[in-house]
Structure 1
Amino acid sequence: MKALVIYTYPNHTSLNYAFLQKVIKGCQENLNIKELQVLDLYKENFNPVLVFNEYKRRRDMHVDSSIQKYREQITWADKIIFVYPIWWGRPPAMLIGYIDQLFASNFAYRDKKGLFPEGLLKGKSVVCVSTMKGPTHYPLIWLNNSHKILMKKALFSFVGIKKVKFFEFGNMESPTGNQEKKLEKVYQYFKRVGY
């Protein structure tokens, strides 16, 4: 199995970075994972801003040469792992901009006659590791699980990815947030996860 980790947080001394390190360590110790790539969107200076004009059209995003290497990473990966915070009930704008550009028509999905498009990323799996300052159940109770619905149904299912797992950790800025226990949980999961 080939795994791609997409990290979206600007600080390398943060708890999110600690989660990234646990994901990497677990993947490196996992006998099922033969190859691993890590994409740090902030370190990469990824430009999340969509630009469409008379020279750059939305329908041509699947062949945009400026993001070709990112398309190749997604194509290469069997498992895609996202590590990011939840800010205001959703992933950071940097990650949303990445998704807007990479999960484009004729790369991630293809329009066809009928109600639903054809997902072109079938066979891949996704794991989302996210942290938030608020309580663990805040997204469920106050936001009707909009984060998971956005990621699982509106995005991954749409492009053909059916196997999606979430780790949503709340109270991460609290002294009683059990950060070490949650870091260990993520490490153990990636150390033993199959496809």
Structure 2
Amino acid sequence: MNVLIVFTHPNHQSLSYAFLQEVLRGCEENHDIQQVQVLDLYDENFDPVLKFGEKKKRRDMYKDPDMEKYRNQLSWADKIIFIYPIWWGRPPAMLMGYIDKMFASGFAYKDNGKMLPVGLLKGKSVVCVSVMKGPTFYPMFWLNNAHKVLMRKALFQYVGIKKVKFFEFGNMENPKGKHKEKMNKVYRYFQTLNNHSITS
């Protein structure tokens, strides 16, 4: 299987980057994974800002030539791994801008006149690896699980991706945050990941 990793953090000394290394280490030792591509949005200088006008229509986003490279990556991937921090209860603006541009009508979904569109990314699966300063239970009990609802229901299910797994790690700025234990958990998961892995 082919794995695309979308990494979103401006600092390569961050814990998010350390988790990226553990994901890569696990993938390298996994015989079910044929190829891995890493898209580092900050290193890529990805422009997350949507710009529309007379010459550039929102309805034509799915064929924007500037985004062809990234569309090809998503089409190629069997599994898409998102690695990012949680800031203000949600992913960074850089990642949300990537999503705004890439998960466009005509590429990621097709309107059919019903409540939910036809998802055009069916058959793919997603793993989200995220870290935050606050406690692990904070998003669930204080924010009504907003982060997972946003990613699972408002985004991935909308485009046909039903298998979504979350690693949502809290207390990551605490010296007693069990960083090595959490990174090892991620490493072991990707070391044994396969196309039939059950995600939740």
User: Which position in structure 2 is the counterpart of 1:111?
Assistant: 111
Match of 1:19 in 2: 19
C-alpha separation in 1, matches of 2:191 and 2:155: 27
Structure 2 counterparts to residues 1-195 of structure 1, below 5 A: 1-195=1-195
SS at match of 1:82: strand
* 1:40-63 deviation line (CA, Å, top 9, x unaligned): 000000000000111111100000
Identity over the aligned pairs, expressed in percent? 66
Gaps of 5+ in 1: none
Q: Secondary structure at the match of 1:157?
A: helix
Name the CA distance, whole Å, in 2 between partners of 1:32 and 1:168: 25
Shift of 1:114: 2.0
- Structure 1 consecutive aligned stretches of length 4 or more whose deviation exceeds 4 Å: none
- Inter-partner Cα distance in structure 2 for 1:52 and 1:137: 39
The number of residues matched between the two structures is: 195
Taking the aligned partners of 1:166 and 1:157, their CA distance within structure 2 comes to 14
State the TM-score, normalized to the length of structure 2: 0.97
**Structure 2: gaps spanning 5 or more residues:** 196-200
- The CA distance in 2 between the partners of 1:71 and 1:187, in whole Å, is 27
Please state how far the C-alpha of 1:115 moved relative to its aligned partner. 1.9
- CA distance in 1 between counterparts of 2:114 and 2:88 reads 35
Task: Give the Cα–Cα distance (whole angstroms) in 2 for the partners of residues 149 and 74 of structure 1.
Answer: 22
The CA deviation at 1:113 is 2.4
SS in 2 for 1:180: helix
- In structure 2, C-alpha distance between the alignment counterparts of 1:114 and 1:20, rounded to whole Å: 39
Specify the code of the residue in structure 2 equivalent to 1:110.
K
> Cα RMSD (Å) of the superposition?
0.5
Question: Matched residues in 2 for 1:27 and 1:108: separation?
Answer: 26
1:157-195 Cα deviation digits (max 9, x unpaired): 000000000000000000110000000000000000111
TM-score (norm 1): 0.99
| Distance in 2 of aligned mates of 1:132 and 1:152 | 18
Residues 98-119 of structure 1, C-alpha deviations (whole Å, 9 max, x = no match): 0000000000000012221000
Q: Report the equivalent of 2:198.
A: none
- Per mean C-alpha deviation after superposition, the further-off stretch among 111-120 and 94-103 is 111-120
SS in 1 for 2:165: strand
